[in-house]
Structure 1
Amino acid sequence: MSSKEKAIIIGGGISGKLAARVLSDYYNEIIIIERDQKPEGPFPRKGAPQGEHLHALLHAGEYGLEELFPDITEKFYSSGAININSTIDLSWFHHGSWKVRFDGGYRTTLQTRPHLEWHIEQYMKKIPNVTIQYNQIVQDYLYNKAENRIIGVELKTGSLRADLVVDESGVSSLTSSWMNKRGISIPSEKVDIDLSYISKQFELNNHHERDWKIKMIYPNPPQEKIGGTISKVEGNRYIVTLMGYHGAINEKEVLKGDRGFIELSKKLPILDIYQEIKEAKPLSKTSIYRIPTIIWRRFDKIGNLPNGLLLIGDTICRIDPVFGQGMSIAILEALSLQKLLQQHKNELHKIPRFFHKKSASIISPIWNMVITEDYRYPATTGKKPYGLTLQQWYAKNIFILSSQNQDVYDNFVKVMNLVSPVSSLMKPSIIKNVLTHAFSKNSKS
Structure 2
Amino acid sequence: MPDPARNHAVVIGAGMAGLTAAQALSRHFRKVTVIERDTLPAEAAPRRGTPQCQHAHMLLAGGLQALQRLFPGFEKDLADAGAVKVRTGKDIRFERPGFDPFPIRDLGFDIFSMSRPLLEAVTRGRVLQTPNIGICMRSRVTKLVASRDTMRVEAAHYESDDGPAVTVEADLVVEASGRCGLTLQLLDELSLQKPDETEIGIDQAYASTIVERLDHNAEWLGNITLPSAPASSRGAFLFPIEKQRWLLSIGGNHGDAPPGDRAGFMDFVKSLRTPTIYDAVRDARPLTDIVRYQLPCSTRRHFERLESFPEGLLVTGDALCRFNPVFGQGMSVAAQEAVILDRLLTEDVPMQRLARDFFAAIQDTIATPWGVAVNDFVYPATRGARPPDLAQRLQYGAALTKLAADDPEVHRLTVEVSQLLKPQAALREQKLAARVMSLI
For normalisation by structure 1, the TM-score amounts to 0.93
Structure 2 counterpart of 1:170, from 167, 178, 195: 178
State the SS of the aligned residue for 2:201: strand
Report 1:174-323 matches (<5 A): 174-180=182-188, 184-206=193-215, 208-249=216-257, 251=258, 254-255=259-260, 257-323=261-327
Q: In structure 2, how many angstroms separate the alpha carbons of the residues matched to 1:406 and 1:36?
A: 46
Corresponding residue number in structure 2 for 1:161? 169
Q: In structure 2, how many angstroms separate the alpha carbons of the residues matched to 1:71 and 1:391?
A: 39
Corresponding residue number in structure 2 for 1:145? 148
Q: 1:41 to 1:160 in 2, by over 3 A?
A: same
For residues 156-208 of structure 1, what are the alpha-carbon distances to aligned partners after superposition, in whole Å with 9 as ceiling and x for unaligned? 222111111110111353212443566533211111011012111001433x4
Q: In structure 2, how many angstroms separate the alpha carbons of the residues matched to 1:172 and 1:187?
A: 13
Contact 2:156–2:168 (CA under 8 A) maintained in structure 1: yes
RMSD in angstroms over aligned alpha carbons? 1.7
Give how far 1:359 is off: 1.8
Report 1:408-423 matches (<5 A): 408-423=410-425
Determine if the alignment matches structure 1 residue 338 to structure 2 residue 342.
Answer: yes
Determine if the alignment matches structure 1 residue 133 to structure 2 residue 136.
Answer: yes
Give how far 1:88 is off: 0.8
For residues 250-286 of structure 1, what are the alpha-carbon distances to aligned partners after superposition, in whole Å with 9 as ceiling and x for unaligned? x5xx22x322211110121111111122221111111
Report 1:77-96 matches (<5 A): 77-96=79-98
What amino acid is aligned across from residue 129 of structure 1 in structure 2? N
Larger displacement relative to structure 2 (278-287 or 394-403) = 394-403
Corresponding residue number in structure 1 for 2:355? 352
Q: In structure 1, how many angstroms separate the alpha carbons of the residues matched to 2:269 and 2:232?
A: 13
Q: In structure 1, how many angstroms separate the alpha carbons of the residues matched to 2:97 and 2:189?
A: 45
Give how far 1:221 is off: 1.1
What amino acid is aligned across from residue 43 of structure 1 in structure 2? A
Contact 1:197–1:242 (CA under 8 A) maintained in structure 2: yes
For residues 184-239 of structure 1, what are the alpha-carbon distances to aligned partners after superposition, in whole Å with 9 as ceiling and x for unaligned? 33211111011012111001433x41211120001121112110010110010000
State the SS of the aligned residue for 1:21: helix
Corresponding residue number in structure 1 for 2:407? 405
Q: Percent identity?
A: 29
Structure 2 counterpart of 1:106, from 77, 100, 109: 109
For residues 1-30 of structure 1, what are the alpha-carbon distances to aligned partners after superposition, in whole Å with 9 as ceiling and x for unaligned? 553111111111111111111111111111
State the SS of the aligned residue for 1:141: strand
What amino acid is aligned across from residue 81 of structure 2 in structure 1? S
State the SS of the aligned residue for 1:170: coil
Give how far 1:352 is off: 1.8
- Structure 1: gaps of 5 or more residues: 439-445
Q: 1:387 to 1:2 in 2, by over 3 A?
A: farther
State the SS of the aligned residue for 2:154: strand
Contact 1:294–1:319 (CA under 8 A) maintained in structure 2: yes
Q: 1:37 to 1:149 in 2, by over 3 A?
A: same
Contact 1:15–1:331 (CA under 8 A) maintained in structure 2: yes
What amino acid is aligned across from residue 340 of structure 1 in structure 2? L
For residues 123-176 of structure 1, what are the alpha-carbon distances to aligned partners after superposition, in whole Å with 9 as ceiling and x for unaligned? 111111110000000111112111111111111222111111110111353212
Give how far 1:381 is off: 1.4
Q: In structure 2, how many angstroms separate the alpha carbons of the residues matched to 1:258 and 1:209?
A: 25
Q: 1:2 to 1:66 in 2, by over 3 A?
A: same
Corresponding residue number in structure 2 for 1:364? 367
Contact 1:95–1:400 (CA under 8 A) maintained in structure 2: no
Q: 1:301 to 1:428 in 2, by over 3 A?
A: closer
Contact 2:21–2:338 (CA under 8 A) maintained in structure 1: yes
Give how far 1:436 is off: 4.0
Q: In structure 1, how many angstroms separate the alpha carbons of the residues matched to 2:429 and 2:150?
A: 50
Corresponding residue number in structure 2 for 1:46? 48
Corresponding residue number in structure 2 for 1:29? 31
Give how far 1:350 is off: 2.3
For residues 298-339 of structure 1, what are the alpha-carbon distances to aligned partners after superposition, in whole Å with 9 as ceiling and x for unaligned? 112122211111111111000111111111111111111111
What amino acid is aligned across from residue 110 of structure 2 in structure 1? R
Larger displacement relative to structure 2 (416-425 or 311-320) = 416-425
Corresponding residue number in structure 2 for 1:443? none
Contact 1:89–1:213 (CA under 8 A) maintained in structure 2: yes
What amino acid is aligned across from residue 115 of structure 2 in structure 1? T
Q: In structure 1, how many angstroms separate the alpha carbons of the residues matched to 2:83 and 2:145?
A: 42
Q: In structure 2, how many angstroms separate the alpha carbons of the residues matched to 1:339 and 1:431?
A: 33
State the SS of the aligned residue for 1:297: strand
Larger displacement relative to structure 2 (127-136 or 196-205) = 196-205
Q: In structure 2, how many angstroms separate the alpha carbons of the residues matched to 1:158 and 1:425?
A: 50
Give how far 1:428 is off: 4.7
